[in-house]
Structures are given as C-alpha cells and as structure tokens.
Structure 1
Amino acid sequence: MTVVTTPAEAKQLVDKLWSYCHVLRHDGVSTIDYVDQLTLLLFLKMAQERADRRLGKEVIVPVGLSWQSLLDLEAKELKDHYEAVLEELGKNPKTARGLIYHGSENKIRSAGTLKKLIVDLIDKVNWSGTGVDIKGDAYEALLEKGAEDVKSGAGQYFTPRPLIDAIVDCVRPTPQDTIIDPACGTGGFLLAAHQHIVDNHRDKLSHDDATNLQSISGIEIVHDTARLAQMNLLLHGIGRAGGPANIDVKDALAEEPKQRVSLVLANPPFGRKSGLSTVDEFGKVTREDVSYDRTDFWVSTANKQLNFVQHIAKLLKVGGRAAVVVPDNVLFEGGAGEQIRQRLLKEYDVHTLLRLPTGIFYAGGVKANVLFFERKEVRPDKPWTEKLWVYDFRVGQHFTLRQRKLTRAHLQEFVDAYHAEKREESDRFKCFTYEELVARDKTNLDITWMRDPDLDNGDDLQPPEVIAQEIVDDLQAALSEFAAVAEALQLAKAERGEQ
C-alpha cells in the first residue's frame, strides 16, 4: 500500500481523488456530492486500517459491515451490500460514526464504477498510516475544491482558510477554552482553533486539557454538511468515531444556549431572511418568516444575521470572546439592527472591526466584516465599549479566487495591529469612541474613510479580470439587497391585508 508522507504526495493524492469526480459526473454525481460520497467510503477504509493495526487495535465497524466486506464482493453484489451498510451504520446519529452515515445514500448508480472507486483508488492508500496533518490537509483540499463549484452552492459552507487562520491568530485559543462554532459548515474554524492550541501548547497540555480539546464542538443545520464537518474533525484527530458526535445537527437559533462558552468563532450563513417557503396546488409560493421566540434576545427579527449576532452574544460566558463574520447590512441596518448594535456596544466590549475585501469568498457578491467582542459583567452605569478600532482591509485591496488569491500573509499587518501592546492609528487603522459611534445615524458601524489609491492616481492598475470580478461582486451584492427590500415590501403589504 502507498503511504503518504509529504505535502507534495498529499497534493498528488488529492489530484488523483479529484480526477474521479469527472468520471462520476457521468454517473449522475455532482461535485459536492462527490466529496460526500468519498467521505462515506474513506471512513470505512480508515476503520479497517485501525482494526488491522498490530498495536492499539480499535474495532469501529462490525466485521460484516467493514471495508473488507466491500472488497470481497463482485460488482453485481457490491451495490446492494454497500447500501445496506450505509443504512445500518447510520442508526445512531449521536455518535460520530452514526452522524457520518445517518440519512446517507449511495449516489453512485453504476456498480462497476463503485467497485473501481473502492479497489483502484481508495484501497491503494493507507490513510491511517499518513500523518494527521497530511490526511487532514488532503480532505480540506477536497472540501475546497467542492466549494469552488459555484453552481453547487457549496461555497457558502466554506470560509477561506487564510481568513480563518488570521482570526484564530487574533483570538489566541487556549487549552482551557470551551470552543463552539454555531454555524460550523465544514468545520474550518474548529480545526484552526484546535491546531493553534496544539502548536502553541503541545508541551504543556495536561490530561484535562487534552480531554477538553476533544470537546470542541459545532452546530450545523444542513445534515450533509455536518457529515463533512464531522469527518474533517476525525481526520484531524478530534473526537472518536465511536464516541459522541462533535457536531450537532440542528438550528442553532431555535433555543437558548444550554451552557455558556469562552470562545465563539463563526461565519453564519449570509442572506437576510429566515423563513420557510411553501408551494400550494396552484403553484402559488407563500413564505412564512421565522422570528425566533427567544426571551433572551434583545429584539425579535426575521433577519438571521442579526439573530446570529444576538445568539453568539448570549452564548458567551462572562470573560468570553467572539469573532464573527457579518455582512455589511448588520453594521448599518435600522430598526432591529440599530437596537442590537446599541445593546452590544453598551453591554459588551466591541473592540475591533475588520472590513474585508470582496473576491475572497466562494459565494459571490459578499461584502463582509469580522466583528470582535467580549462579554463583561453587568455594568448599568457605564457602557463597556470605550473604543472601537476599525481596520479597513477593503479599500485598495483586490483579490480573486484564482489569479490573486488571499493568503495569510496579506492579513499579517492586521494581526500585528490587533496585538500591538499600544494600538496606534494608521491609514488603515482608526479608533472611534463610544460617544462617536452612538452619535452616528442609527449607530451605523459601516465606517469608511479611505479612498481607493488607484482612483486617486487616476490609473487603472488592476488587470481586466479583477475589475470584471469586482463589478460582478458589486452587482450581486446590490441585487441581494434589492431582493431583500422587495421581499420586505411584499410582506408588509400582506400584513396590511392587501392583495
């Protein structure tokens, strides 16, 4: 068997795995479904490898449902047996193994193609024999390739790794932190937090610290995405296949937190409204907005980004900190948005805002920011936010997903400014007092002061593909806002009883 030992070999493995995606498209398997189907098979292969070890054997999957049982069958018998394996392994979704298989289905219609995938590709690699980083990185690369498929919509579950790493380097997770991502997607924030702790505290981890590190958790409303996240964590050494699942499949906003945590990292799904759409027998579409009945929320609203901000604030225990990616509308929207910003500034220390450039997310048209804040003891006589430092990394920055990709190095200046012993203002880093913030119309935190240097110089310095992508991003963002306004007007009309 081949043992992967270097990053270069890991890349070769990913390229080989991905080459089968094109084959499976002819079998009706979409790009994101391909990663999902690989996940189901990879787990079985690694479980077999652990059962075959000389030392520390671990039986994760019963013999009759094992990887070897797939290898032993001819193609014509394989498909039915594999589908029975999926059903049996998914019966207990509270375990990591059960979560991966619960509700799964075989989407590879051709028994011959399935046999080829098992025998010619996956069985020839010893996944458990690779280093955790290597096999984890390979799987991360597969998820990223899936996210690149714009038509699949998978990009909404994938936050760029350079951005995640910079955010984690800012908040500096510790072994004592209780860490959760309430909208975890494929688990990128959880992996980065875990890796940061291991890299910086490896020699000082106590038994309790190591146990706590395994309890890193996430919540994801889409089951197929939760499956990918759980597999991602297992491949990076987080959790146990037969132990409790690290990912909880549910709507994080539906209920008050059962326990408070010390660190929340999140990039909640974008899109303004929470709701359910139904189609009647005449084809008429009606929409029921969801305003969560949360007595702990400051304001009732159907805007799910604002609800996530409230939820994350309530998730924190005193002394806890959060870093959350939010779209621009969270910073300037009136009504509920204004009230939430006022409460957040008063009751929490909202100390830093990072304005992000366009062109870095797989979901197009995204204009986003990272909001950093901490929960404090109740102090009714004085607001906790004294100064908000805003770092503008948007103006004059031009990125695309291919020609000019965001790297971790691009964000180093911000991370250095974040951790400066004494923060100092610069062209990109400005400080605003609490009094200045609340004096702004609607407590608007969408603050900008810079002009694009390309415009000031009168030069068109950007290549045509960058300019074209920025135009597309701006148009998509504008269309999203107009669609939300149109939807709000329709709802208001319906509430007045007008036809």
Structure 2
Amino acid sequence: MHERSQPPYTLLPNYLPPPIPDGYDWSSLVSRDGDDLESHYRRTLETLGSQPGTLGVIFSKAQNRIQEPAMLTRLVKELIDSENWLTLSADVKGDAYESLLERNAQDVKTGAGQYFTPRPLIQAIVDAMRPESDTTICDPACGTGGFLLAAHDYIVANNPSMDQGQLAHLRDHALHGWEIVDSAARLGVMNLYLHGIGGDETNIIVDDSLRTHPGVNFDMVLTNPPFVGSPASRSSVERPDFWATTSNKQLNFLQHVRTLLTIHGRAAVVVPDNVLFEGGAGETVRRQLLNDCDVHTLLRLPTGIFYAQGVKANVLFFDRKPASEAPWTQDLWIYDLRTNKHFTLKANPLKRSDLDDFVSCFNPEDRLSRQETERLHRFEYDELVKRDKVNLDIFWLRDESIEDTSNLPPPGIIAEEILEDLRAALDQLEEIAADFASDPV
C-alpha cells in the first residue's frame, strides 16, 4: 500500500489513497529504530486491527512475535523496505503465501491442518464443477480460502476474453466466504488479497455461518466443513430451514449448504464417513437430500491425504431442485478412490494426476452419458432408499491387502499410516477429555 501511495500511482486519474490511518503507515515504521519502533509497531497492529473491511480482518488480534528490537529494525529496514513489492506479480506473491500455508498445515502441533484442504483435491473438484464467469460462489467454512482461490483461477484461465467489468465482478463480488476462526479468516483474506482478489471490502466474513441464513443464495457452493470442533461448537442447531435438529456439525453444514444454493445451484461438499451411515438425524438428512436434490456423484476419498490425521472422507456432489412430488435423485454414481489406494503426506502425497480418472469419469461435459468402470458404479434411487438407514457407505471393490500380503504397500508407508491413525485416536481422546472437563456431570 505504501508503494501504491507514491508516484507514478498518485498521478493516475482514478487514484485513491490507501485506507491507512495517519501516523500508522509504512513510513511511520521505517522512520523509527529499536524500542521506539517496537512500541509503535504494537500500536500499529492494534490500530489496523480496529479498521473496517479487509484491513481489520487481516490485522484482527495480531500480535508482535518479534521480541528483539534490533531484529525488528533489520526486518523492516533491510529486508522488507529494500524490496519493490509491486514489481512482483500476484502469482508470485500468492504462490509464495500458499506455500507458507501448506508448510504451516504440516505442523500438527498447531492444528493448522484442519483449515487446509489438499490443493490437488480442490483443483480436481473445481475442474469437475466448472464454474463460469458469471457464477456466484460460496464457501461457508472457507478456512485459508483454497476453494475460492481455485474457482477464481479456473474462471480466469478458461475465460481469457473477459472484459474489465467481468474481471472486477469476479474480483470483488463473485466470491463469498465465511470463517468462524479469526486466525483462519486472517489467513484466507490475506491469501485472496495477495492473489489480487478483493479490495478494501473483504470477501470473507468472520462469523458462524451455521447460525442463520445470510439472506442471499449462490449458484455454487464448494466447501470442506471442519470435522472437529470445540465442545461449545457441538450444540444443536435449530433452524426452520433445516430438515433435522442435531449437534452433528457435518450434518448441519450439509443442510446449510442446501439452503445456500439457488434453485438449480450446484454443490460439492467434503463430508466424513459418518455422514453417509449415521442413523437418526443422519438418515433424515440423507433421505430428504436424495428426494429434494439431485444427488448425482459421491467420491470416496483415500486416507492419508489430509493434514488432520486419520480422516476418512468423501465428496458429495448435488444440485438443488424446485419442489416436486417425485424424488429428484435418479442415479447416484459412486467413484471409489479409497480401496487399494495408499497415500501419505510425505512418502506418497496425493497429486492432481491421481484424480484425472475421477474427473474423466465425472464427465462434466455430459453427465448423462457416463459409463461404469471398475471404480465407478451407478446405484439407482430405489436401491438406495431400501438400504438400512439409507446407508450410502457403499463398497464393491475387493481389498487386495486383506487377502494377499504381497500387495501391501512398502513398510515406510504402512508405518506412516499407523502413525496417522494413532494421532487421530489421540485427537479423539483429547476431545472426549475436553468434553468431560467442560461438563463434569
């Protein structure tokens, strides 16, 4: 922002000064040294965190982690001020930030992995969904903004002839996100901002999106809601536009996504396995979803691809439809990318090419002409609703590792999978302990 407040930018006819309060701009930092710089930097963070719009979200609750004044002086004057940041493209700055986000997600101690969806998975989902230049897109649990960013990049890459008005609409108005965690929202807003998305008004709202309907609907919802949460976040959500009242956050997000869509709007939602088979409210939600929406595709994801350890997840694709006496779902196509697949975060990470066959089988050009394959099977509506509790946890491939030990993955991968399962078990035990601590009765 400081560079944009200097010539030649100030000479442009549409120049607007940056929204930085007087006395708290970059020049005010560069002009100070030592303890004076350190104390002014702390005041600057507090002041910027109280501003409206993008600035307030990025700097909300920000703290100075650099305790040595000499180091802060060197950082400001020698490392940052000496660089010409406007000469770096948004792609360079954005890609560098994405790399930092992924590195942060790998640190299991911070818990940052729960906000980071593997980028190859996001890219494959967006490639299957194919958003267009006029599509309004929402992520009600946007974390670091991966889905919104991937949708933006897909639209730009596949619509090279967009005019300035269309580009401005895409940058400022087409993408919408909600995030309840301040630190994750800050990462998401900064991620989009460094990629040239958004401006003075942020695309991401810091709030609990489940609390109420926002009063606006969207053409597309792409999201990976959190699989775990604090004890306080597990209270039941009662909304008149929900089919069932439950404390299961994933079922609530699935219902919430349906309410966010326009009629004929499309959704892709990452859900854990329990959403597919849980009884009670789970059965109610699945039965209503199959009846009221066209639930056309389910992608069974392999284990070992999420930074939150031990997750068994799926991607559910569905379209919202108008009221009808007949059920909208006719066929559910299930693609099994889990059986006989072995991925880990380090030894054998998921790549975008690992999802090429799924995107091809998804057949976004013409879903009605899909053909069954070894990993893609079709299940008719009548068959699904006759299953116990409308259970969608369906497998048909033979697990070769159970019957033939010669097909086991290398020992290093097996060891990493065991370690991930142990970490997941530890996380679950810590959640149970936290529940008891908050409600000892």
Q: Give the equivalent residue in structure 1 for 2:108.
A: 150
Counterpart code for 1:320: G
User: 3-state SS of the aligned residue for 2:51?
Assistant: coil
Asked if the contact 1:274–1:291 (Cα under 8 Å) also holds between the matched residues in 2, the reply is no
Return the alpha-carbon distance in structure 1 between the equivalents of residues 39 and 424 of structure 2: 46
Greater displacement, 127-136 / 299-308: 127-136
Deviation, 1:58, is 4.8
Kindly indicate whether residue 347 of structure 2 is the aligned counterpart of residue 403 of structure 1: yes
Asked if the contact 1:274–1:304 (Cα under 8 Å) also holds between the matched residues in 2, the reply is no
How is 1:318-329 mapped onto 2 (pairs within 5 angstroms)?
318-329=263-274
Return the alpha-carbon distance in structure 1 between the equivalents of residues 21 and 406 of structure 2: 66
Asked if the contact 1:358–1:367 (Cα under 8 Å) also holds between the matched residues in 2, the reply is yes
CA separation of 1:427/1:289 partners in 2, compared to 1, >3 Å: closer, same or farther?
closer
Q: Give the equivalent residue in structure 2 for 1:359.
A: 304
Q: Give the equivalent residue in structure 2 for 1:112.
A: 70
User: 3-state SS of the aligned residue for 1:361?
Assistant: coil
CA separation of 1:384/1:485 partners in 2, compared to 1, >3 Å: closer, same or farther?
farther
Asked if the contact 2:225–2:253 (Cα under 8 Å) also holds between the matched residues in 1, the reply is yes
Q: Give the equivalent residue in structure 1 for 2:328.
A: 384
Q: Give the equivalent residue in structure 1 for 2:206.
A: 249
Return the alpha-carbon distance in structure 2 between the equivalents of residues 142 and 445 of structure 1: 37
| Partner of residue 237 from structure 1, selected from 196, 212, 215 | 196
Q: Give the equivalent residue in structure 1 for 2:357.
A: 413
Q: Give the equivalent residue in structure 2 for 1:267.
A: 224
Deviation, 1:483, is 8.3
| Partner of residue 259 from structure 2, selected from 314, 325, 328 | 314
Return the alpha-carbon distance in structure 2 between the equivalents of residues 487 and 234 of structure 1: 36
Deviation, 1:53, is 4.5
Return the alpha-carbon distance in structure 2 between the equivalents of residues 486 and 110 of structure 1: 38
How is 1:62-461 mapped onto 2 (pairs within 5 angstroms)?
62=21, 64-93=23-52, 95-205=53-163, 207-208=165-166, 210-215=168-173, 216-240=175-199, 243-271=200-228, 275-276=231-232, 289-380=234-325, 382-419=326-363, 421=366, 422-461=369-408
Q: Give the equivalent residue in structure 2 for 1:37.
A: none
Asked if the contact 1:140–1:232 (Cα under 8 Å) also holds between the matched residues in 2, the reply is yes
Q: Give the equivalent residue in structure 1 for 2:3.
A: 49
Asked if the contact 2:138–2:221 (Cα under 8 Å) also holds between the matched residues in 1, the reply is yes
Deviation, 1:210, is 3.2
Return the alpha-carbon distance in structure 1 between the equivalents of residues 434 and 255 of structure 2: 23
Paired residue total: 431
Deviation, 1:454, is 4.2
CA separation of 1:82/1:485 partners in 2, compared to 1, >3 Å: closer, same or farther?
closer
Instruction: Please give the per-residue CA displacement for 1:113-146, whole angstroms capped at 9, x wherever unaligned.
Output: 2222223332333222111111100011111111
Calculate the aligned-residue CA RMSD, in Å: 2.4
How is 1:31-46 mapped onto 2 (pairs within 5 angstroms)?
none
Greater displacement, 122-131 / 356-365: 122-131
Return the alpha-carbon distance in structure 2 between the equivalents of residues 476 and 427 of structure 1: 33
CA separation of 1:202/1:434 partners in 2, compared to 1, >3 Å: closer, same or farther?
same
CA separation of 1:250/1:426 partners in 2, compared to 1, >3 Å: closer, same or farther?
same
Deviation, 1:455, is 4.2
User: 3-state SS of the aligned residue for 2:95?
Assistant: helix
Return the alpha-carbon distance in structure 1 between the equivalents of residues 430 and 283 of structure 2: 21
Deviation, 1:206, is 6.0
Asked if the contact 2:231–2:434 (Cα under 8 Å) also holds between the matched residues in 1, the reply is no
Listed as ranges, the gaps of 5+ residues in structure 1 are: 1-46, 277-287
Deviation, 1:474, is 3.9
Instruction: Please give the per-residue CA displacement for 1:31-74, whole angstroms capped at 9, x wherever unaligned.
Output: xxxxxxxxxxxxxxxx1122224134553224521222211111
Counterpart code for 1:435: D
Counterpart code for 1:450: L
Instruction: Please give the per-residue CA displacement for 1:427-467, whole angstroms capped at 9, x wherever unaligned.
Output: 10011011111111111111111123344543054221211
Greater displacement, 208-217 / 341-350: 208-217
User: 3-state SS of the aligned residue for 2:315?
Assistant: strand
Asked if the contact 2:116–2:307 (Cα under 8 Å) also holds between the matched residues in 1, the reply is yes
User: 3-state SS of the aligned residue for 1:203?
Assistant: coil
CA separation of 1:484/1:111 partners in 2, compared to 1, >3 Å: closer, same or farther?
closer
CA separation of 1:432/1:483 partners in 2, compared to 1, >3 Å: closer, same or farther?
farther
Identity, % of aligned positions: 51
Deviation, 1:351, is 0.4
Greater displacement, 338-347 / 201-210: 201-210
Asked if the contact 1:175–1:213 (Cα under 8 Å) also holds between the matched residues in 2, the reply is no
How is 1:457-472 mapped onto 2 (pairs within 5 angstroms)?
457-472=404-419
Asked if the contact 1:239–1:245 (Cα under 8 Å) also holds between the matched residues in 2, the reply is yes
CA separation of 1:349/1:486 partners in 2, compared to 1, >3 Å: closer, same or farther?
farther
